[in-house]
């Protein structure tokens, strides 16, 4: 029992040390721009490993730009598309999570009914809808792995609250727009603007900004489907919503 108690104490100390490390990292981000995120590093490793296995070169594009160098149209478009309540909530939008949960339940029920009606056809997994806020997405990509585990989700929630407590909304949005993925090896607003429109992020038009925002949930998918009817239709919807958004 004494040995178990020592192990438990070491585990608790290790957990507390990790949280203090996260606090220090996030507090430093108030004044120092992060050069990369955990997700970016994992993607770089994956792409580099793949290129070695296939004897192919790999492309990487990421350039940090200050908040003022990102088009206000892109800030409005991303908030309108990804997190309409960004400036109002404290990091977690519980109403959006509840709505996503109910939508996923309905989709699961419909999938089960289709499978019962057509048992000869292979069942398709229903598309899962998320309710994550911009701050939650940043917390996950910035400091965590991509594993879907209950413990990791708990850590994501804690990091979300730390981001909101230690950084203001303007800084959170600035880091998010400079680190989010916009295609294979394409990270941040500047790289995306150059990749898809051959212009700096500061000069994006409302339509271009909305198009980039619509790509965010599945950037690699839309990167190869720029002529998608859904992409065009959804872009028009986001353009119409942007006028009601005031970025921080």
Mean pLDDT of 85-96: 82
Give which of 239, 194, 195 is closest to 220, Cα–Cα.
Answer: 195
The Cα–Cα gap between 61 and 186 comes to 5
pLDDT at 128 over 50: no
Lowest mean pLDDT across 7-21, 56-70, 171-185: 7-21
121 band by pLDDT with thresholds 50, 70 and 90 = low
126 band by pLDDT with thresholds 50, 70 and 90 = very low
pLDDT of amino acid 144: 78
User: Higher-confidence residue: 248 or 121?
Assistant: 248
245 Cβ neighbours under 8 A, 6+ residues apart: 75, 76, 79, 80, 84
User: Which residue is it, tokens 């909101």?
Assistant: 164
What backbone torsions phi and psi does residue 231 show, to the nearest 5 degrees? -60, -45
For the record, the structure tokens of 142 come out as 């910035």
pLDDT at 125 over 60: no
Lowest mean pLDDT across 21-35, 42-56, 196-210, 232-246: 42-56
The Cα–Cα gap between 203 and 59 comes to 24
pLDDT of amino acid 168: 96
110 band by pLDDT with thresholds 50, 70 and 90 = low
pLDDT at 147 over 90: no
pLDDT of amino acid 185: 94
pLDDT of amino acid 68: 96
CA 107 vs CA 62, 89, 129, 133, 173: distances in Å: 37, 27, 10, 21, 31
- Domains of the chain with CATH codes: 36-47+63-86+167-248 (1.10.3810.10)
Mean pLDDT of 8-18: 77
Q: How many helical (H) and strand (E) elements, i.e. helices and strands, does the chain have? A: 11, 2
Mean pLDDT of 136-144: 90
pLDDT at 6 over 80: no
Q: How many CB atoms lie within 10 A of CB 232?
A: 13
Are 153 and 132 spatial neighbours (Cβ–Cβ below 8 Å)? Answer: no
User: Higher-confidence residue: 62 or 16?
Assistant: 62
pLDDT at 129 over 50: no
For the record, the structure tokens of 124 come out as 């398709």
pLDDT at 108 over 60: no
């Amino acid at each position: 029992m004494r040995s178990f108690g020592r192990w438990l104490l070491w585990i608790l100390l290790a957990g507390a040390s990790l949280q203090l490390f996260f606090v220090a990292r996030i507090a430093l981000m108030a004044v120092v721009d992060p050069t990369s995120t955990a997700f970016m590093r994992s993607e770089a490793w994956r792409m580099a490993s793949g290129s070695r296995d296939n004897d192919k070169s790999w492309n990487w594009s990421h350039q940090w730009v200050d908040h003022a160098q990102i088009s206000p149209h892109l800030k409005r478009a991303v908030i309108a598309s990804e997190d309409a309540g960004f400036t109002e909530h404290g990091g977690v939008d519980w109403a959006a999570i509840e709505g996503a949960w109910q939508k996923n339940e309905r989709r699961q029920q419909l999938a089960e009914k289709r499978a019962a009606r057509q048992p000869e056809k292979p069942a398709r997994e229903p598309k899962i809808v998320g309710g994550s806020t911009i701050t939650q997405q940043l917390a996950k990509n910035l400091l965590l792995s991509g594993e879907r585990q209950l413990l990791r989700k708990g850590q994501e929630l804690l990091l979300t609250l730390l981001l909101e407590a230690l950084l203001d909304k303007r800084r959170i949005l600035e880091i998010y727009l400079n680190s989010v993925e916009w295609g294979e090896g394409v990270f941040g607003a500047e790289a995306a603007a150059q990749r898809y429109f051959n212009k700096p992020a500061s000069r994006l038009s409302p339509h271009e900004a909305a198009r980039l925002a619509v790509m965010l949930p599945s950037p690699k998918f839309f990167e190869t489907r720029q002529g998608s009817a859904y992409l065009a239709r959804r872009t028009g919807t986001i353009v119409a919503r942007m006028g009601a958004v005031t970025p921080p």
